[in-house]
Chains A and B, each alone.
Chain A
């Protein structure tokens, strides 16, 4: 396990990568990406037992699936800085002929990606399917997944949630990026999600709630607790309260940066708030 300082430095560099990627092509999704920088960093740096020598089948290793594919900038940054592909490749994000498509894809063969996502609401089923295969294979490693909160409005999630709960699929740890925001505004204004903890519990899931999903120590504890619950005949949900746009003052407390890139000045200000730690790509 890395020290908290090391991990904080990692997160800061990931933020810079997110900002620089979306700025370079004037498109992409910084808000949700920044809100999940700590989650991805802790997951890939400390929690998952996975090989960077990428193999699609991922037997005898932990798997991760990103369902809310629009937050690809954070995913790409953490995959690159964890050794899945060269960090310089972040430079090609969203550009023609890139492996770093706007939304993650297997089509271009980017190491680390096992399913395309972008059209929302499909990843829970995929993660569940992979978890079922792990069971069939007698593979005791875990399946992790991440989902947007707005994304939970898609009905397919609840089909998967019902299946996982009623079949006691207990090698799955799903996380919800609970930032209470989506494209058109606050989830409470668009389509209120209600009491998510109660909803998951009603579908026979164990729920671990993280009050500060942008706090590394809280995340570490949440993963620890979630892992202690696997194998108990229930899938596990981490209900992760986050701040969209976290780490950049003008991107926080608003949904405005869900899918908008900063201009030159804004980038400069955002980067000044997150000084280079591990070296820019």
Chain B
């Protein structure tokens, strides 16, 4: 088994902030917009370095998306920043018409995704955003796993021309992606080779998947681990090949099982290589207040749950 070192827990939103700071220095076309959450989105440094390219729009997310769409006309590359809920559900039609349908080069950057934002509770914990965004034709949907990957993705989406939804979060999670790894949109990362079960994970559940693979290894089960940072376009080949090899799949994500990565994988396999699949995801519920660790336990979004689902998937072969 390959070993992955956690170089220290860090929040993925800070990876975004670091990427944006770098973009500010290297790409004069990058502009940033924020809706009264500059600190939470880690956009302060960009704001301090480039006050002329930073737009504080106030608590007005719909206006922010419209402004961003307009700013692309003439060549700017706008990065919008707010919480995931207010980046998607709040402004769905603005994104749909002014960004996706109009094919605008807007980067919608969303922090505090999922239940692990913790105590603020369900009003702020969107578990439906990946589904909302992946249903929009032409939208690229990225959900990064750690600080380093989030930073690399931030740089990569600036270089890519087209609408992007970039999702990250609030809690400090394991940082294990090599610092200099380039981010290839749409290309799955093969983290562990295995023969008994494929664990296909996204976001910080990738680290949980690696932990689960260790536990499974101790139990004599060989688990393959694939890091899907890009939900759309999905690396179908990587998924199909792995499923062919192992014969069963567990998907893992901090999202509702309706509309998330799991469904995209299930659709891919149903078409190309029907395979038993188990889902580590929330089960069509809203979230609630609690600490991130308590919530991951209660909603079954951790390594323990991945192990259980892996054993179940294997039993269904």
Q: Give the interface of A toward B (CB within 8 A).
A: 25, 27-28, 69, 94-98, 100-103, 105, 107-108, 116-121, 150-151, 153-155, 182-184, 189-191
The verdict on A119 contacting B90 (CB below 8 Å), with A102-B119, A182-B36, A182-B59 known, is yes
Bound complex: CA A139 to CA B294 (Å): 45
For the complex with contacts A101-B289, A116-B123, A119-B124, 4 further pairs of A-B residues with Cβ separation under 8 Å are A95-B289, A103-B122, A107-B286, A183-B39
Measured between beta carbons, the chain B residues less than 8 angstroms from A153 are 36, 58-60
Interface contact A96-B122, CB-CB below 8 Å: no
Interface of B is mostly: loop
Classify chain B: how many residues form its interface, as a range.
20 to 34
In the complex, residue of chain B having the shortest beta-carbon distance to the beta carbon of A27:
B119
Measured between beta carbons, the chain B residues less than 8 angstroms from A119 are 85-86, 90, 123-124
Q: Give the interface of B toward A (CB within 8 A).
A: 34, 36-40, 56-60, 62-63, 85-86, 90, 118-124, 286, 288-291, 294-295, 298
Interface of A is mostly: loop
Bound complex: CA A98 to CA B62 (Å): 32
Interface contact A117-B123, CB-CB below 8 Å: yes
Measured between beta carbons, the chain B residues less than 8 angstroms from A189 are 56
Measured between beta carbons, the chain A residues less than 8 angstroms from B123 are 69, 101-103, 105, 116-119
Q: How far is the CB of A254 from chain B (nearest CB, A)?
A: 14
Interface contact A150-B119, CB-CB below 8 Å: no
Bound complex: CA A105 to CA B298 (Å): 20
Q: How far is the CB of B169 from chain A (nearest CB, A)?
A: 16
Could you list 14 examples of A-B contacts with CB < 8 Å?
Answer: A94-B119, A96-B294, A97-B288, A98-B288, A102-B119, A103-B123, A103-B124, A117-B123, A120-B59, A150-B36, A151-B59, A155-B60, A184-B34, A189-B56
The verdict on A102 contacting B58 (CB below 8 Å), with A96-B289, A183-B37 known, is no
Q: How far is the CB of B283 from chain A (nearest CB, A)?
A: 16
The verdict on A96 contacting B60 (CB below 8 Å), with A102-B121, A102-B289, A182-B36 known, is no
Interface contact A150-B58, CB-CB below 8 Å: yes
Measured between beta carbons, the chain A residues less than 8 angstroms from B291 are 96
Interface contact B36-A27, CB-CB below 8 Å: no
Bound complex: CA A47 to CA B84 (Å): 38
